[in-house]
Amino acid sequence: MTTTLGFLGLGQMGAAIAERLQAAGHPLQIFDPSQTAVAPFVARGAVRHASATAVANAAQIVFACLPNGQVSEAVSHDVAAGHAVKTYVEMSTIGSSALEKVHQTVAARGIAFADCPISGGPKGARSGTLTMLCAAPPEVRAIVRPYLERVGRTIFEIGDRPGQAQLMKLVNNLVNAANMATAFEALVLGAKGGLDPDQMVAILNVSTGQNSATLTKVPKSVLPGSFDYGASLTTMLKDVDLGLAEATALAVPMLVHQQVATLWRLAEQQGLGPQDFTALIKMMEGWAGAEVRSRTAGPD
């Protein structure tokens, strides 16, 4: 028998993941407050429900990709009230503290639980190239792995304890945020001094300065001026703050990342929060009076 899947949260990331599962032939029971978000899935045969509890009454495995810990905690209570759900997979990035509350809520009703945040953005989800992180007991990892394989290219089993995958995701995003901040700042310096942005990036990418910002984000979203990599600046700031909260809980000093967080927070305060996270460079460009844009890009 085909296992019926539930999916909660059809935002940028959730919709991309759910598309992969639906394309693989899995019957989907879905809930999202947005009619616009659910309409394409219903058109392809998914069943829309009026609540997370209704999804959990119809699906044996329920996935969630939600915007923050408060929403995840609230939704977990609705899922725990469902009668069909046997396994709950939290794909949101919410940090260890909120994750543990979600875990306790569903475990109290005998529902197996997997901590499975993802990395790679909506474009990576649609192309099936996501990195999937999973922390759960071995028997639960065995249940969810076939579905993760339909969504991502690389799966890391972080450990048996939910929360470990959250920590790893936040370690990644702290490095990501710092890479972007330092690369953007240095590239603006070069642009102000008259260096060609395309050549700067080409040199960095075969030199010791290469990082994820210079390899992908700058070429794809900054040089062409599209600023469409796929996640909002506010979302990145949320993850940086969650990472710093993990550091506080573990008594780990984070001198560099505190400064990185200040930079991202300032950009949000200047109104860049809803924009793509690559828009962080716009603030630095404004300060310097120079732009990091391709000089060779022409009209499509």
Catalytic residue among 101, 169, 192, 220: 169
What is the 8-class DSSP label of residue 226?
Answer: -
Instruction: Give the end of a domain, one of 161, 190, 220.
Output: 161
Orientation of helix 95-107 relative to helix 233-249, angle to 10°:
80
Q: What is the pLDDT of residue 300?
A: 41
What is the 8-class DSSP label of residue 2?
Answer: P
Q: What is the rounded average pLDDT of the residues 31-44?
A: 96
Q: Is the pLDDT of residue 296 over 90?
A: no
- Structure confidence at residue 22 as a pLDDT band (50, 70, 90): very high
**β-sheet bridge partners, residue 232:** 276
Q: Are residues 190 and 148 in the same domain?
A: no
- Structure confidence at residue 299 as a pLDDT band (50, 70, 90): very low
Q: Are residues 143 and 187 in the same domain?
A: no
Domain presence at residue 107: yes
The pLDDT mean for the chain works out to: 95
Orientation of helix 255-267 relative to helix 164-192, angle to 10°:
70
Domain presence at residue 298: no
Q: What is the pLDDT of residue 128?
A: 85
Residue type, 217: K
Domain presence at residue 294: no
Q: What is the rounded average pLDDT of the residues 221-246?
A: 96
Give yes or no for a contact between 28 and 22, defined as CB atoms under 8 angstroms apart: yes
Instruction: Give the end of a domain, one of 161, 176, 198.
Output: 161
- Three-state DSSP at 265 gives helix
Domain presence at residue 115: yes
Q: What is the pLDDT of residue 2?
A: 74
State pLDDT tens for residues 162-186: 999 999 999 999 999 999 999 999 9
CA-CA distance, 239 to 118, in Å (whole number)? 13
Q: Are residues 95 and 139 in the same domain?
A: yes
Task: Report the range of poorest mean pLDDT among 98-107, 116-125, 231-240, 266-275.
Answer: 116-125
Give yes or no for a contact between 294 and 197, defined as CB atoms under 8 angstroms apart: yes
**Annotated catalytic residue 86:** no
Residue type, 191: A
Identify the helix (H) or strand (E) that includes residue 29.
Answer: strand 28-31
Q: What is the pLDDT of residue 199?
A: 98
Q: Are residues 270 and 236 in the same domain?
A: yes
Domain count, the chain: 2
Q: Are residues 18 and 155 in the same domain?
A: yes
- Structure confidence at residue 1 as a pLDDT band (50, 70, 90): low
CA-CA distance, 142 to 105, in Å (whole number)? 22
Q: Are residues 9 and 67 in the same domain?
A: yes
Q: Are residues 100 and 135 in the same domain?
A: yes
State pLDDT tens for residues 85-131: 999 999 999 999 999 999 999 999 999 999 999 998 888 888 888 99
Supply the pTM of this predicted model.
0.92
State pLDDT tens for residues 133-144: 999 999 999 999
Range of the domain at 43: 5-161
Q: What is the DSSP pairing of strand 5-8 with strand 130-135?
A: unpaired
Instruction: Give the end of a domain, one of 107, 133, 161.
Output: 161
Q: Are residues 227 and 140 in the same domain?
A: no
For residue 146, the domain's CATH number is 3.40.50.720
